Amino acid sequence: MLSEPELFIEGNHRTGALVMSYILAREDRPPFVLTAANAKAYLDPSTLVTQTRKGSLVAVFRLPKIRRYFAKFLKEHADRKYLIAAPAGGAMH
């Protein structure tokens, strides 16, 4: 989603954060919330992804490392307060 060619002229990082949050939330994990405190740690590696062409030799080596970084990053920044608790006795409405 973030790598070349870019899907959107602007907003790839924001869109990536939203898609990432959707994937996490559907697995009952806290969504990723971009804040001033974590912006640099999120934007720096995602910029590397943006500058990497899909299917290139560079991508073969760079993307697994970035994937591991993001997995660790998400675990460190997970906050369950962003999940809505289901009401007692059942499903959410």
d(CA 57, CA 36) in angstroms, rounded, equals: 33
pLDDT tens for the chain, 93 residues long, are 555 556 666 667 778 788 888 888 888 888 888 888 988 888 888 777 777 777 888 888 888 888 898 889 888 888 888 777 655 555 554
For the chain, the structural domain boundaries read 12-81
d(CA 7, CA 91) in angstroms, rounded, equals: 36
- Give residue 2's pLDDT: 54
Residue 5 in tokens: 């060619």
- Give residue 85's pLDDT: 65
The amino acid that residue 61 corresponds to is F
d(CA 29, CA 20) in angstroms, rounded, equals: 11
0.75 exceeded by pTM = no
The answer to whether residues 30 and 83 touch, using CB atoms and an 8 Å cutoff, is yes
